[in-house]
């Protein structure tokens, strides 16, 4: 008699990723809702989506539930998060995933389509330095079809508001500490749990080689520092990159979402 090994529960891993992200971003679902409302308003209910720096496919998951006739291409470099995404969407032919480094000048050559109705990304691009983000925005202007859109939700602080910023940071720190005391899992703890899972151990080890181990204080490849620019900078840079219109469409005390229309 042989023992049967249970298949990994990829849905559970994606949900645990969402919970970990919500520890940092309690209004995460609200901004996803605004993002998808904007998609429907601008390009309709059957979009071809590029989910940029897709992680476990959180945006793709919500988009395909909202838009049953949509398709999505997820792009990421992280082998562990892509393993979860590919596992979760293995039976859904509307979703496909591509391994690519957004700092590689030829990353768009890996995409299965020449153009997309909309490019969506959230809490992902702040690790790119300003010059690299300008280059990426120019590349996206070539990927989005005429009349298509790009939406980026991320940390986009205000300008010249030190007292407001300090109060928001203190409030968010206290909220996270309360949630941690109640058992919430932070970034480093999530990665250590993933490393202990038999199905994820190998891709997590590969991930640590690329980005470093969060337990050692490493979050990004090559020690790249997080770059937080205000939403006005993003809107102006997107217009310079070739988008016709760009502005903020959502904000919280610490984050914002910029929309650009080709």
pLDDT tens per residue, range 158-195:
778 889 989 999 999 999 999 999 999 999 999 999 99
d(Cα 46, Cα 32) in Å, to the nearest integer?
17
Residue 223 lies in a domain: yes
pLDDT score of 87 more than 90? yes
Q: In the chain, how many domains are there?
A: 1
Residue 1 lies in a domain: no
Residues 152-168 as b/e (b if ≥16 CB within 10 A, e otherwise) read bbbbbbbeeeeeeeeeb
Q: Which tokens is 170 given?
A: 């203190």
pLDDT score of 224 more than 90? no
DSSP 8-state code for residue 8: P
Residue 3 lies in a domain: no
Residue 187 lies in a domain: yes
Q: Tell me what pLDDT residue 5 has.
A: 54
Q: Tell me what pLDDT residue 228 has.
A: 84
Q: Tell me what pLDDT residue 221 has.
A: 43
Q: For residue 112, what are the domain limits?
A: 10-261
pLDDT digits (tens, 9 = 90+) for 22-67: 999 999 999 999 999 999 999 999 999 999 999 999 999 999 999 9
Q: Tell me what pLDDT residue 4 has.
A: 52
Q: Compute the mean pLDDT over every residue in the chain, rounded to the nearest whole number.
A: 93
pLDDT digits (tens, 9 = 90+) for 182-192: 999 999 999 99
Residue 60 lies in a domain: yes
pTM of this structure: 0.94
Region 218-228: mean pLDDT is 54
Q: Which tokens is 172 given?
A: 């968010």
Task: Report how far apart, in Å, the C-alpha atoms of 38 and of each of 27, 233, 258 are.
Answer: 17, 21, 11
pLDDT score of 10 more than 50? yes
Q: What angle do CA 253, 255, 257 make, to 5 degrees?
A: 125
CB 170 within 8 A of CB 141: no
Q: What angle do CA 13, 227, 17 make, to 5 degrees?
A: 5
Region 62-90: mean pLDDT is 98
Residue 237's pLDDT band (cuts 50, 70, 90): very high
Residue 5 lies in a domain: no
Residue 226's pLDDT band (cuts 50, 70, 90): low
CATH of the domain at 155: 3.40.50.150
pLDDT score of 215 more than 90? no
Kindly state the percentage of the chain with pLDDT values over 70: 94
């Amino acid at each position: 008699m042989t023992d049967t090994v249970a298949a990994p529960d990829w849905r559970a891993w994606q949900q645990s990723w969402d919970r970990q992200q919500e520890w940092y971003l309690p209004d995460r679902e609200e901004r996803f809702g605004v993002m998808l409302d904007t998609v429907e308003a601008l390009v309709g209910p059957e979009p071809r989506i590029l989910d940029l720096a897709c992680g476990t496919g959180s945006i793709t998951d919500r988009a395909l539930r909202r838009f049953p006739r949509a398709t999505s291409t997820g792009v990421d470099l992280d082998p562990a998060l892509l393993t979860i995404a590919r596992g979760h969407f293995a039976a859904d032919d509307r979703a496909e995933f591509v391994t690519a480094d957004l700092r590689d000048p030829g990353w768009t050559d890996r995409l299965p389509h020449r153009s997309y109705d909309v490019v969506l990304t959230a809490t992902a691009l702040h690790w790119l330095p300003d010059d690299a983000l300008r280059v990426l925005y120019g590349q996206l202007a070539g990927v989005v079809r005429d009349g298509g859109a790009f939406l980026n939700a991320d940390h986009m602080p205000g300008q010249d508001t030190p007292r407001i910023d300090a109060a928001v940071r203190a409030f968010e720190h206290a909220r996270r500490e309360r949630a941690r005391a109640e058992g919430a899992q932070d970034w480093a703890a999530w990665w250590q749990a993933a490393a202990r899972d038999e199905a994820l151990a190998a891709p997590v080890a590969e991930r640590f080689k690329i980005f470093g181990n969060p337990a050692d204080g490493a979050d990004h490849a090559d020690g790249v520092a997080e770059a937080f620019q205000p939403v006005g900078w993003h809107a102006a840079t997107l217009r310079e990159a070739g988008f016709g219109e760009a502005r903020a469409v959502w904000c919280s005390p610490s984050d914002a979402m910029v929309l650009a229309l080709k």
